[in-house]
A and B are shown apart, each in its own frame.
Chain A
């Protein structure tokens, strides 16, 4: 068991290294002079040189990489060009809203997608299956900001049920916290829900065609027992894998959602950094989110053994 975990940890580490290399190379692959572009059109050559030095671009590639990795291992993600604060500090200050949004979105998506997918698979070919499939296609075809503005217009402006935008910290009360999270979580979650519904449906359809389901029916088991006790556990592995790979979508979508709803989280931080061309912040955010993604998928990989006793590791 330990050996299995270590082996997986090893391949995860390789991915982490690859991510670090890609992120590092990004700035160097840009055609033209990255320092000049970051400095902006109105910069003087002194400004450009200053930027070049603070980003360490004036040194040989290998040295840069070495220094950069060294700093990373110490938890130093760089210094913001704009605010001169460590990127790590900036991120940590904004982690509560983003994490809340991410978890709320995840809960919403999973809690709605699983029953819908199971229902669609059970009633495959009938009108309810088609309706669910159409709903899913619409949900992941419309961009998050359209869904978001639509929901805001309806629930916040028109019916005045929910706040238009903003974030309320949990320290100030649970109810406002929840209300402020509903619309953003639904806007972001609908996309994720659609993908998960489709995946659940197709996996369940496959599982329901297996011989052991026929055996279960021949035993006289009712439909619910067959779906939940016999079929779902077999469908778990692909479904959970989809949840894992959906994290990347979630992280990307958080940026857009925080912009739409003016939530002061890491996404907003990124957008401000983009406007200011504050590259170290962008780089830091990419590193953190990629590592988070890799970590979550590592844990999901370990969890497979809970669902399928045949999997050794």
Chain B
């Protein structure tokens, strides 16, 4: 009576096949993570591995295409593009991570309150609606016009437009978690609010917050570059990717490498951060799916 049940093939369970399936399923997070680690390592190691001082002028060798002495070529002041690119990575990483942390903390706090208290919800949601109606670049640009340039100010100008998105996400997650039975059970036995928030609600909200934080980081790195490109970013003495590209704008036709290499690094870094975020989110979805 028992039909020819398809026996599991030996191939499906060989170790190589299992490893292949693991890799292909987690491809985004592996590629993103590896690439990002590489870029971070290069940036952090910049002082050790760069052959030249990123701000040293060498006008004799200006506008040289990539060659043996200057792997990425030189700009109009003779500065080595490779060194500037690697140092630029440090700035971008610093700005990106700071903005992600800051907007994560501020946004989470606002979102938690908005999710738990109706009065906080009404006020904060109207404000975030308004903030999100203003394009991030314009808001950041307006802020930079009103202050003296500096790295801290740039971080603040980048953080503020990102806070609303985090706040909304946290709020909606909290609204869902509140209704879960384990929270209602804890509340019914008299758990006090701070403990309820920190012990029950926040830990379960953590993973979507982290995923969103990676996207914010990617967005922040891009925004810093845009600000630099438009001339209102990090002070021009500091070699950030936005500044390098901004300097190289006028030479696009003559010396594309000034824009090309920092641009490529910038794109790769943002891409790897985005892939990491995607990968973590997919992992989270898989865990949820497997639970049922």
Residues of A within 8 A of B (CB): 14-15, 18-19, 21-23, 26-27, 30-32, 34, 37-38, 130, 137-138, 140-146, 149, 152-153, 157, 245, 248-249, 251-253, 255-256, 259, 270-271, 274-275, 277, 279, 282-283, 285-286, 289-290, 293-294
- Complex Cα distance, B135 from A31, in Å, reads 22
Binds A, one of B122-130, B178-186, B206-214: B122-130
Q: Are A152 and B252 in contact (CB under 8 A)?
A: yes
The verdict on A285 contacting B138 (CB below 8 Å), with A34-B146, A146-B266 known, is: yes
- Complex Cα distance, B139 from A290, in Å, reads 10
Partner pick for A18 among B130, B142, B264, B267, CB 8 A cutoff: B130
B222 partner residues in chain A, CB cutoff 8 A: 141, 143
Instruction: Determine the residue in chain A with the shortest Cβ distance to B271.
Output: A141
Partner pick for B146 among A19, A30, A143, A146, CB 8 A cutoff: A30
The verdict on A256 contacting B226 (CB below 8 Å), with A142-B270, A143-B263 known, is: yes
Give residues of chain B (210-232) contacting chain A, Cβ–Cβ below 8 Å: 218, 222, 225-226, 229-232
Question: Is B175 interfacial (CB-CB < 8 Å)?
Answer: no
- Complex Cα distance, B266 from A145, in Å, reads 11
Q: Are B226 and A38 in contact (CB under 8 A)?
A: no
Question: Is B196 interfacial (CB-CB < 8 Å)?
Answer: no
Q: Are B127 and A18 in contact (CB under 8 A)?
A: yes
Q: Are A142 and B263 in contact (CB under 8 A)?
A: yes
Instruction: Determine the residue in chain A with the shortest Cβ distance to B267.
Output: A142
Q: How far is the CB of A188 from chain B (nearest CB, A)?
A: 12
Other contacts beyond A249-B135, A274-B141: 17, CB < 8 A = A18-B129, A31-B147, A37-B148, A38-B145, A137-B275, A145-B226, A145-B259, A149-B259, A248-B136, A252-B135, A252-B138, A255-B141, A256-B229, A259-B229, A274-B231, A286-B134, A289-B138
The verdict on A27 contacting B230 (CB below 8 Å), with A141-B271, A153-B256, A286-B139 known, is: no
Q: How far is the CB of A270 from chain B (nearest CB, A)?
A: 7
A22 partner residues in chain B, CB cutoff 8 A: 127, 130-131, 134
The verdict on A137 contacting B127 (CB below 8 Å), with A34-B146, A248-B136 known, is: no
A146 partner residues in chain B, CB cutoff 8 A: 245, 259, 263-264, 266-267
B144 partner residues in chain A, CB cutoff 8 A: 274
Q: Are A286 and B142 in contact (CB under 8 A)?
A: yes
- Complex Cα distance, B143 from A22, in Å, reads 12
